[in-house]
Structures are given as C-alpha cells and as structure tokens.
C-alpha cells in the first residue's frame, strides 16, 4: 500500500493540506489540476452524499484513476439545517466565505438557539467500486468571528466541549476532532486494511 496515488477532487489548497496531513506518507495525493483538469467539477445534487459521488464519478470518468471527493455542509438547527449542501455558496455563486458568514450571522441575529454541526461525506472510487465515509462534529455558531486559522465558517464555529472556534485552533488540533478529520480517518483505516 506504499505510495499509492489518489486523486482528490478539490482545487482548494487548504483542504488538500488538511487531508494530506491526515493521510501521511503512505499515500500521494494528486489534484485534478495535476491531471490536466482545470474546470470546476460539477456538484449539482441536493445532498452531500450526492455531490461527493458526482465529483468522484466525474474525476474517475475523466482519468480512470482511483479518486475521492468530499462535500461538507454546515447544518444550523435554528435555520432548518441551512446552509447545508449550499454552504460554500450560501451568499452567492462567488463562494465568498466572508459574505457567507455575514449572511449566517444576520439570519441568527437575536437567536438564542445556535446549535449547529459540520458534516463531511467522502466518496471513494477504488478499482471501480464506490464507498462512502462520513464525519460529524457538533457545536454552535458564535455571534462574532474569532481566530485567523482555517477557512470557510471556521471563525464562527465553536465545537462542542471547547471554548474556542475552529479558526483559533492549529491544524493538528482541528484535524483531531473535525468532521473532515473523522471522515478522512475512516477513509485511511479502510485503505490501510484492504486485503
């Protein structure tokens, strides 16, 4: 299983770094760009599972190589699970994190109930077979931003059992508890235990 190549369906360098750190040296991650795929990978499904599978299938069809894709959503109870599958483009197709947080905080203004969870689904295509892995972390939305690490909604998401946001944690601390960390660890466990 040494130095097996996997294509990760992302153009997001932050995500790539997070996942590579969790995968360790036994796996070599490539990006779509490394394979000459520069266009935006489609994600048009109404669920995280559907989007992850759509992205992985797109890459697999284009390259014929083993690959995986993830989709992550922030699900806020008081907003009926919003932004959910639309987390990256909550405030518009520009996928601007600051605008997304502004809209989220505006919709939660005056709301005492701020329970939320991050959920990541990874779809793996390995030797033509499909597998799904999920990670979930519960927490709450803080009324203001705190911290400068991470990306996306990290400055307003406080994981359960902590008094700081994801954006106030360094990468190893965040990976130890995060939704993506959980899903990637399930993926890694699966890969390392292949017959």
φ, ψ for residue 57 (rounded to 5)? -65, -40
Long-range contacts of 144-152 (CB under 8 A, 24+ apart): 144/105, 145/101, 149/174, 150/14, 150/174, 151/12, 151/14, 151/15, 151/97, 152/72, 152/74, 152/87, 152/88, 152/97, 152/100
- Coil, helix or strand at residue 119: strand
* Residues with active-site annotation: 71
Listed residue (158, 143, 154) closest to 98, CA to CA: 154
Characterize the bridge pairing of strands 67-76 and 4-8: parallel
Burial status of residue 29 (CB atoms within 10 A of its CB: 0-12, 13-18, 19 or more): middle
Quote the crossing angle between the two packed helices 179-192 and 13-23, to the nearest 10°.
50
């Amino acid at each position: 299983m040494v130095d097996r190549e996997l294509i990760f369906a992302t153009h997001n360098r932050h995500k790539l770094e997070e996942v590579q750190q969790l995968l360790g040296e036994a796996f070599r991650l490539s990006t779509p760009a490394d394979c000459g795929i520069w266009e935006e990978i489609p994600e048009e499904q109404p669920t995280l599972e559907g989007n992850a599978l759509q992205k992985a299938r797109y890459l697999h069809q284009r390259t014929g190589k083993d690959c995986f894709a993830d989709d992550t959503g922030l699900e806020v109870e008081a907003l009926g699970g919003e932004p959910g599958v639309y987390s990256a483009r909550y405030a518009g197709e520009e996928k601007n994190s600051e605008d997304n947080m502004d809209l989220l905080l505006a919709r939660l203004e005056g709301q005492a109930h701020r329970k939320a969870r991050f959920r990541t689904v990874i779809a793996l295509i390995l030797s033509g077979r499909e597998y799904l892995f999920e990670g979930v972390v519960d927490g709450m939305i803080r009324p203001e931003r705190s911290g400068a690490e991470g990306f996306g909604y990290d400055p307003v998401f406080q994981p359960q059992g902590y008094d700081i946001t994801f954006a106030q944690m360094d990468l190893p601390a965040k990976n130890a508890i995060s939704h993506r960390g959980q899903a990637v660890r399930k993926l890694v466990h699966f890969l390392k235990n292949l017959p």
